[in-house]
Amino acid sequence: MSDATNASPALLDVHDVSKAFGAVEVLRSVSLQVKRGEVVTVIGPSGSGKTTLLRCVNFLESYDSGSIRIDGKEVGYREAGTRRRRSERDLAAMRAETGMVFQSFNLFPHLTAAGNIMLGLTKVRGKSQTEARQIAEHWLGRVGLAHKADSLPAELSGGQQQRVGIARAVAMEPKILLLDEITSALDPELVGEVLAVVRSLAEDGMTMLMVTHEMAFARDASSRIVFMADGGVSAVGPPKEILAAETSNERLRTFLARFRASHF
């Protein structure tokens, strides 16, 4: 964990976060830092708490103890140590600073591609319709869907929908982008177009925390990989170190071996 001691302050600082659903501990004292411009991918077997961790960062899930700070500001609670939730208005404002892309896209089916992107821009960022439309068109262009601005989600393929989902999140200019298994619901031939978009955002310096099963992508695109097992961070490090076959971490070795067996 050499990066944690680095002098530059982390943009996202998850410190000692725990969470239980009833008797099941889904997060066990998780700590994790993401610096500005970093792409951190989270891997691990299903049920290891990856998605829950991601959902805690924008407070779609609450957590029982610990603290999560973005740019030094506590996310869901009024101050570290207390369990007093922020007001609805405060929470909404905090969430606007993080973008999220979902496994199942979650586009708004009653709005066009452009409309999906414009909603947050007009309601949350206070932009005019004209300005919001321009921004939406800009981002649709970036994800290669300029010609689909007026299509409804039902008229788009899965890969196209997910690219709109990404455009909707980044158009808000979030400090950090959270990506939750964004290619898991896609047909294999559509995965590439979505990952290409993520890669180009990474090249632009977008800070990202990404839960993924795409090992090749994690290897090539991330600054660091976090391996989670049983609700805890089991290993953190640069891709080369984490994905090395001869790692001494037994859980990780088993996970990678099983993964290789099923994917090659």
Q: Which residues bind another protein (CB under 8 A)?
A: 58, 60, 88-89, 92-100, 102, 104, 106-110, 119-120, 123-124, 152-155, 168-169, 172
Helix axes 129-142, 113-123, angle to 10 degrees: 130
CA 257 – CA 264 distance, rounded (Å): 11
> CA 211, CA 196: separation in Å to the nearest integer?
16
CB of 93 to another protein, least distance (A): 6
- Residue with smaller CB distance to another protein, 78 or 263: 78
Is 45 or 158 the residue whose CB approaches another protein more closely? 158
Least Å from the CB of residue 6 to another protein: 29
For another protein, the closer of residues 95 and 133 by Cβ is: 95
Geometric angle at alpha carbon 206, from 58 and 72, rounded to 5°? 50
Q: Please state, in angstroms and as integers, the Cα–Cα distance from residue 108 to each residue in 117, 150, 151, following that order.
A: 10, 13, 12
Report in angstroms how near the CB of residue 86 gets to another protein at its nearest. Answer: 12
Smallest distance, another protein to C-beta of residue 53, A: 15
Closer of 173 and 220 to another protein (Cβ): 173
Q: How far is the CB of 192 from another protein (least distance, A)?
A: 24
Measured from the Cβ of residue 259, the count of other Cβ atoms closer than 10 Å reads: 15
Question: Given the complex with another protein, which of 124 and 257 has the nearer CB atom?
Answer: 124
- Cα pseudo-dihedral 232, 240, 197, 99, rounded to 10: 30
Strands 208-211 and 39-43, bridge-based pairing: parallel
